[in-house]
Chains A and B, each alone.
Chain A
Amino acid sequence: MSAIDVAQALWLLLAALGLNIAVGLGGQPILGQSAFVALGGYGTVLLADRADLPLGVAAAVAVLGAGLLGWLVAVGSSRLRGAHVALSTWALAWLAFAVLTAFPGLYGGSQGLVRPSPARLVSRFLGVEVVLTPLWHIVIAGTFCAATMVATRSIVRGPVGLDLAALRAGPAAAESLGIPGAALRRSTLAASAAVGALSGAGTAVLLGLIAPADVSPLLSVQLYVAVLIGGTASVLGPLFGVALLVALPGIADVVSGTADISVERSRGVVTAALLVVVLALRDPVVRRLRALLPRRGTAEDRAASSVPSPAPEGDGGHERAGSVQGEGRVVLQARGLRHAYGDIVVLDGVDLDVCAGEVVALVGPNGSGKTTTLRLLAGATPVQGGSVLIEGRDVTGLDQRGRVLAGIVRTFQHTALFPGLSVADHVRVGARGTERGGVAWRAVLRTPSWRAAAAHSEAVVQSLLQRSGLAARPAATSEALVHGDQRLLQVVRAAASSPRVVMLDEPAAGMSQEELGRLRDLVLDLAGNGAGVLLVEHDMRFVAAVADRMTVLAGGRVIATGRPADVRTRPEVRAAYLGGSAQEGSS
């Protein structure tokens, strides 16, 4: 292997390490890395040779341009589910390829663009002139690769890595806890694209040539395979994957020699075969590797057991009068909420109040608009009409993250956890929602203020785990919990952001008597610490045990509100539940 081959392999590795940021960390199936590599390569050559910019400036501009394009693609795909992201980036790869071949005047057609090699890096200002020999390329590309790996690793281990892990495992749940999903997807794809472009620029300068065939959509597939081989979120994965990719032309040559087919063809066949092998073997291999590596949670287990358990607060359960901070103050105020899906009006002017320390049950027949109300209050669905106030502050225009920061958070009707994450990490993700921006940098630098904040939120996490009875196995993954504990974990996770208002969507579903008791204690504990609790629940005995007030929804309107025992006996409530009158019956 000559120096030029090594340098080329390192530049290719850089493209894969870049893609790993979006695919491995960001969890997005990106099939368009070749477009960003092409932008870097062609951009650098065009800017340096046609626009006469200094080489370094040309490369920097091309890289920034690719980062911007990646960011724009992510903006466009922020509303897309994974499948659509794959399709849209795959289309982008082909669009870039079509553009490169369609305009030979600018991009040199299938021959591509040629420039003198080895390139000279001249700085009149510094009075230096460097001839970029392959050895220089090895040093530069190697440095970039190392820097990307170190940066990726520190992100994976830091708080943002936890956000990303939650976002990969359960996007909807993570965003409901205030994790800024769209922003994280934008920045990972922008970083991925910029690093890809850097790789393209480096390769073009090294070879003195860039042609469409080198940045065809096949490259996108190969890089995607390279990242998949290592499994997601692994830093060394792409290294192994690229080792295979580097070996690929050699294998392809052997195949083409023995089977008497063109080298191009044989590369395609070998890539496809590799993809098939990867897909077939990925899960077993990753599982095997996971079993070998120490888990993220084992150290925490020991740490958790050494933390002195806080004295159980308010363990008596029901005696909470007087001790609640600021009880009676309205923390959640919704006025005239209206919502329609197309022509179907789901909510038709709903008013709701929840006070600090109060548990309000929201009940009603199926389809009466309970979950839609929670979605509107949490910011998961934009408000069409009406207003939402948290502690007197209008939050109607805010998104989910904004609402979590304002102090309102919810749980889901179905169990939506983060498979693969430990119990303690679930709760830590919940606590992350209220930490403001800039945390990533402060975490990397480990500033005193960050350490103090981290210690505080860790104390909140541990205290919640103790109080909910989930502290026994903090390092167990959520899949290992029984159903009732999973439901409890959902509540604890939401409560970790120390919200003013907690909204629980049928938390008691499927719970045993013993688990119901623990849930009741937890709900009363939250209210006892000053939070307002809005509870959607069908289990009337549970409602009677925890709720101070009960509001009944039917047909998108509030038909009754008051003490549970009184409300249940009212005729209109009975009619709504038993389907008596058509107007107030379930929709």
Chain B
Amino acid sequence: MDPGIALQAVVSGLAQGAVYGLVGLGFTLVYRLTRVLSLAHGDLVVGAVFIGLLLTVGTTPVVATPSVPLAIAQVLAVLAAGVAVSVGLYVVAVRPFLPRDGSAGRGSVGVPGWVGGTLAVGLLLRESLGVVLTRETYAVADPLRLDRLDGGDGIVALPGGGTVGVRLFGVLVLGLALGIAVDRLVVASRVGTAIRAVSEDRETASLMGIPTERVVIIAFALSGLLAGAAGILAAPGGRLTLAGGVVLGLKGTAAALLGRLGSLRGALGGGLVLGVFEALAVASELFGPAYADVFALAVLVGVLALRPEGLRAQAQVPAE
């Protein structure tokens, strides 16, 4: 591969990978607290974006860059929609199927329940939005105006002759900053301590006086916020479609599994690795653009078969 093209692929892969990382991060948060592998997380991302757009500009999203107040309203609406849908998902599709001690992993009793529940919510969200938004794809303007970062034409020349949109750098920086912020929040803040306590042992945390139910809801809200943010960063690329939600969610899951399932930093790092490898595969003569989804899904199926707790998982003391 030409080094210029390779560099171009790496940069755009990193930006795309930051989005996968955010999706994976939200997926991981939910998994850590409930041991639920949400099948609706990708629909959450596209759902948040399209609900936010419906609320602010109606059924015909326009390409023109929104005014500053409208842009702020859009961002807030998307994030709020993400939070609302994620908490709704928990209440409707996850909570009824959790055993009383809150661990979905121990017995397999509740598994068919929340598998079906998250599937149903995802499908219902996707299809009911599709009833209103009838077009296959929507061009979405960037409320953050990341494409005007350089104040010029928005194109950056890379060494070796390749070019990328300046927007990608904005996506990468914002995505990483948000991801690291959430990781810090969980590591260092009081809420984060509670989240870690509940993910370690919900029953004990409850006995120590931690309001576990509230903590789980906060985690789902945070997960929805991350989904909304990922949507805002990804949507203006024009690749976000309603039908593509599931695959985006599965790519986020793959990102989470490239680290250690349950590790927030691992999900973020896994996203970057997945994004770069996907971009390189797509840019190479050997594979090509057709492999964009095939590659990531094959990675997911492969990792699940070989290392179900993640590539970097360690041996655990059996729960007995």
Interface residues of A (CB under 8 A from B): 27, 29, 31, 73, 75-77, 79-84, 86-88, 90-92, 94-95, 98-99, 102-103, 171, 217-218, 221, 224-225, 228, 259, 261-262, 265, 268-269, 271-273, 275-276, 278-279, 341-342, 344, 371, 375, 380-381, 412-414
Contact = CB atoms under 8 A, between A and B. Distances in A.
Contacts of A86: 37, 39, 111, 115
A370 to B, nearest CB: 11
A262 B247 CA distance: 23
B320 A371 contact: yes
Nearest to A96: B297
Given A84-B308, A86-B111, 11 more contacts: A31-B119, A76-B301, A83-B35, A83-B36, A83-B37, A86-B115, A91-B250, A95-B300, A98-B247, A273-B124, A275-B123
Interface stretch (B127-135, B233-241, B269-277): B127-135
B127 A272 contact: yes
A77 B131 contact: no
B318 A375 contact: yes
B304 interface: yes
B189 interface: no
A271 B124 CA distance: 9
Given A31-B115, A272-B123, A265 B293 contact: no
A29 B115 contact: yes
Interface string B275-310: 000000000000000110110011011001110100
B131 A265 contact: yes
Nearest to A232: B112
Nearest to B117: A279
30 contacts: A27-B108, A29-B111, A76-B304, A79-B308, A80-B304, A82-B111, A82-B115, A83-B35, A83-B36, A83-B37, A83-B108, A86-B39, A90-B119, A90-B250, A91-B250, A94-B246, A95-B297, A95-B300, A98-B297, A102-B294, A224-B119, A261-B134, A265-B131, A268-B126, A272-B120, A272-B124, A275-B119, A341-B317, A344-B317, A414-B320
B108 A82 contact: yes
Contacts of B293: 94, 98, 102
Instruction: Name the prevailing secondary structure of the A interface residues.
Output: helix
A59 B247 CA distance: 30
B1 to A, nearest CB: 20
A276 B36 CA distance: 18
A83 B250 contact: no
Contacts of B294: 95, 98-99, 102
Nearest to A171: B108
Contact of B116 (A171, A275, A413): A275
Contacts of B300: 88, 91, 95
B315 A342 contact: yes
Contacts of A278: 116
Contacts of A82: 108, 111-112, 115
B108 A87 contact: no
Interface of B: 35-37, 39, 104-105, 108, 111-113, 115-117, 119-120, 123-124, 126-128, 130-131, 134, 246-247, 250, 253, 290-291, 293-294, 297-298, 300-301, 304-306, 308, 314-318, 320
A90 B297 CA distance: 10
B125 to A, nearest CB: 9
Given A88-B305, A91-B300, A269-B128, A83 B320 contact: no
B69 to A, nearest CB: 33
B46 to A, nearest CB: 14
Contact of A381 (B35, B115, B318): B318
Nearest to B295: A98
A132 to B, nearest CB: 34
A24 B129 CA distance: 33
B298 A77 contact: no
Most buried by B among A102, A103, A228: A102
Which 9 pairs across A and B sit closest by C-beta, in order of nearness?
A76-B305, A268-B127, A272-B123, A95-B297, A102-B290, A272-B124, A82-B111, A275-B120, A88-B304
A275 B122 CA distance: 11
| Residue among A29, A91, A371 with most chain B CB within 10 A | A91
Contacts of B253: 87, 91
Contact of A91 (B113, B124, B130, B304): B304
B291 A91 contact: no
- The interface centre, meaning the residue of B39, B111, B127, B318 with most chain A CB atoms within 10 A of its CB, is B127
Contacts of A344: 317
B104 A83 contact: yes
A51 B253 CA distance: 38
B305 A73 contact: yes
Contacts of A31: 39, 115, 119
A375 B320 contact: yes
Contact of B113 (A81, A88, A272, A279): A279
Contacts of A79: 308
A94 B297 contact: yes
B305 A77 contact: yes
A84 B31 CA distance: 12
Contacts of B108: 27, 81-83, 171
B124 A341 contact: no
B288 to A, nearest CB: 9
A87 B297 contact: no
A77 B300 CA distance: 13
A276 B300 CA distance: 27
A29 B134 CA distance: 32
Contacts of A171: 108
A271 B130 CA distance: 14
Most chain A CB atoms below 10 A, which of B104, B105, B116, B316: B116
B75 to A, nearest CB: 29
Given A83-B111, A86-B115, A269 B124 contact: yes
A587 B111 CA distance: 35
B120 A265 contact: no
Nearest to A267: B127
Contact of B134 (A262, A272, A412): A262
Contacts of A217: 246
A85 to B, nearest CB: 9
Contacts of B119: 31, 90, 221, 224, 275
Contacts of A98: 247, 293-294, 297
A272 B118 CA distance: 11
Which of A29, A84, A103, A279 gathers most chain B CB within 10 Å?
A: A279
A103 B253 CA distance: 25
A414 B319 CA distance: 11
B117 A412 contact: no
